[in-house]
Structure 1
Amino acid sequence: MESLQREIILIEKVCEIYHKISKLDSLKPSEDVDSLFTELVRTCIPPSFINIATLPADVQEIRSKLIRLCGEAEGHLEAHFSAILGSFPNPLQHLNEFPYYSNYLKLSRLEFDILTEHYSASGQAPKRLAFVGSGPMPLSSIVLASYHLKDTIFHNYDKDSMANSMASHLVSSDPDLPQRMVFHTANIMDVTDELKEYDVIFLAALVGMDIDEKVKVIDHLAKYMAPGALLMLRSAHGARVFLYPVVDAQQLQGFEVLSVFHPNDDVINSVVISRKIAEPVTIDDGYNHHHHEWRIDSIMPLSCKYCEFKTFNDPLGQMKMIDN
């Protein structure tokens, strides 16, 4: 009963913050925007269990709208800081100017460790990697390429040409990354045979803002990725589902889910890693599974080889809804 009461209070708080955010004239960085989104993240980050399927319809609607508002605000935030960093002669030497850079360092390290666990028994790193939804400030690609995958070629996909132009400028003065960072302006749904060339594909959390959009992208990747290639996705767990879409194992048709990781520190996103199977199998369960968002915890017992929970020891500091 006490746990239920805490969840009710949390949901009421989230809805209250949503109504304040929805009344803002702009979601570009400002004191009001920063304050409200910081409050939202602080509210959603503590461990909790939220069952999406049992949320009232009005709360479901607020959650969907809030995820889109978060995505819009993140886009403005990254464009703002990409422009600031781009004004330096060597932008990558000033990444710590971005207030949430440390979160990207943590998330990238986490994803690299998970990728290393499942990529290859030979210990070799992937030769070609794609990041879908890289945005104007592709910090995940930059951090992975700079510190963890130093021989890998990164292909970054974003449908916004301005975002790609800003991102390309950030790495242009680096002595190494321009040779290993490629930027493609394209909707990933229009990219087909090229997807077979990648050993690993990362899908940013906000590519596909609702479950139907997300499933369409996943199905497209399942159709064109090479058998055995890995797909890494970002999901959400607990109250963090008010910040990001949830990826459930049932929605990964054509993939074998290898591992799911739910951080419980200031790294917001869960990480899901899966492998493209040789022949995608369509499960006919008598209804369209694409239109159901399953229990958040249902991903764990279905097909995980191991699912672990790990806490970073450093105290909760600046928080960022990590996207790319």
Structure 2
Amino acid sequence: MASFQQSTLATHIPNELLVAHITQIHASISKLQSLKPSKQVNALFTQLVKLCTLPSILDIADLPEEVQVMRESLIKLCGKAEGLLELEFAIFLAQIPLPLNNLNLFPYYGNYVKLATLEYKILRDNGVVQPKKVAFVGSGPMPLTSFVLATHHMKSTCFDNFDIDESANNVARQIVSSDVELEKRMKFKTRDIMEAKEELVEYDCIFLAALVGMTKEEKIKIIGHIRKYMKAGGALLARSAKGARAFLYPVVEEYDLLGFEVLSIFHPTDDVINSVILARKPIF
């Protein structure tokens, strides 16, 4: 372990060392009987996130096939664990008074606030100011981005949250029902986004969560579907990942946004995980 600690003192952690440690954590996570929040689960994922946010010059495209396979497995495990963590906290919040005043109890709430604030700034800087109607695809049981945007940045915007899991939407509805004003502006739709067609033209901006489309093929298919049905001039904000962060989330490249005009690409260097790509469907 000494070599790992010494290496972190350098500007970048060597790629081989980084991949070796991530592979080790993947092996430990794979052996877990459950991915529900627990001391062991939380410790492993905390360690993984810290590793993936260290300064590195890792390029996912350069990794050998066996590491690519491990990465795909790890992304799926991370997605399951994230969903279970959100569900546990959402159920807890739904049972207490004023749940929207206690969102900060969620361990990664600060990251969501940073990311949502950043996304709002990117939208505003590119002319998407106070959109009338927004869709968030892959909202889950605790749609923190929608909550933060609706209560702090887009105070008159209507939000439609799409998720394929009705039980997740039900918990989210319970949390929102505690705020009469927000409940008027925030709806939850249980639907696979690939089945949503003409209704997508209603939205000025569509957010695509990082875990919607776990493989490159799925992601490209979903992006193409959204582009086909969304309004001309509408904005698509897709979450991605770069470098070692791509062991946690799928990557969206600029060339995956065929038929879009890419307006902005942002890659974080702090504790925020997701990259942000803003694109616009051309008017002509």
Superposed CA RMSD in Å reads: 1.3
| Map of 2:181 onto structure 1 | 176
**For 2:278 and 2:84, how far apart are their aligned partners in 1?**
28
Does residue 218 (structure 1) correspond to residue 223 (structure 2)? The answer is: yes
| Moved beyond 3 Å, runs of 4+ | 2-5
| Corresponding residue number in structure 2 for 1:70 | 78
**Residues in 1 aligned to 2:267 and 2:15: alpha-carbon distance in whole angstroms:** 19
Equivalence map 1:18-167=2 (5 Å): 18-120=26-128, 124-167=129-172
The one-letter amino acid of 2:70's match is I
Alpha-carbon distance between aligned partners in 2 of 1:73 and 1:17, rounded to the nearest angstrom: 14
TM-superposed CA distance for 1:151, in Å, is: 0.3
For 2:148 and 2:245, locate their aligned partners in 1 and report how far apart those are by CA, in whole Å: 24
Matched residues in 2 for 1:165 and 1:62: separation?
A: 34
1:11 is aligned to 2:16: no
194, 200, 217: which is aligned to 1:195? Answer: 200
Cα contact 1:145–1:152 (8 A) shared by 2: yes
**Residue identity matched to 2:224:** D
- CA drift of 1:66 comes to 0.3
The question of whether the paired residues in 2 share the 8 Å contact of 1:232 and 1:271 is answered with yes
- 1:63 maps to amino acid: R
The structural deviation recorded for 1:263 is: 1.0
Deviations 1:168-198 (A, max 9, x none): 1011011311000011000000000000010
How many angstroms apart in 2 are the aligned matches of 1:4 and 1:106? 24
Give 1:89 shift: 2.2
Query: 2: distance between equivalents of 1:13 and 1:7?
Result: 10
How far did residue 24 of structure 1 move?
0.3
1:4 deviates by 9.0
Percent identity reads 54
Question: What TM-score results when the alignment is normalised by the length of structure 2?
Answer: 0.94
CA distance in 1, matches of 2:51, 2:216: 23
The answer to whether the Cα contact below 8 Å between 2:163 and 2:169 also exists between their aligned partners in 1 is yes
Q: Distance in 1 between matches of 2:14 and 2:95?
A: 46
Q: Rate the CA distance shift 1:151–1:56 in 2: closer, same or farther, 3 A.
A: same
> Is the CA contact (8 Å cut-off) linking 1:205 and 1:244 kept in structure 2?
yes
**Change beyond 3 A, Cα 1:101–1:222:** same
Q: Deviations over 1:227-261 (max 9, x none)?
A: 11000011111210100111001110111110101
Structure 1 residues 159 and 94: alpha-carbon distance in aligned structure 2, compared to 1, 3 A threshold: same
Deviation at 1:91, TM superposition (A): 1.0
Q: Is the 8 A contact 1:128 1:152 kept in 2?
A: yes
Determine if contact 1:119/1:230 at 8 Å carries over to the other structure. no
Q: Output one character per residue of 1:290-317: Cα deviation in whole Å (capped at 9) or x when no partner.
A: xxxxxxxxxxxxxxxxxxxxxxxxxxxx
Provide the residue aligned with 1:236 in structure 2: 241
Give the counterpart of 1:204 among 190, 209, 213. Answer: 209
Following TM superposition, by how much is the alpha carbon of 1:47 offset from its aligned partner in structure 2, in angstroms? 2.0
Q: CA deviation at 1:97?
A: 1.4
Structure 2, unaligned stretches of length 5 or more?
Answer: 1-9
> What's the CA shift for 1:201?
0.2
Contact 2:169 2:190 (8 Å CA) reproduced? yes
- Aligned partners of 2:208 and 2:239 also within 8 Å: yes
Partner of residue 249 from structure 1, selected from 246, 254, 257:
254
Cα distance in 2 for residues equivalent to 1:108 and 1:39: 24
Q: What TM-score does the superposition give when structure 1 sets the normalisation length? A: 0.83
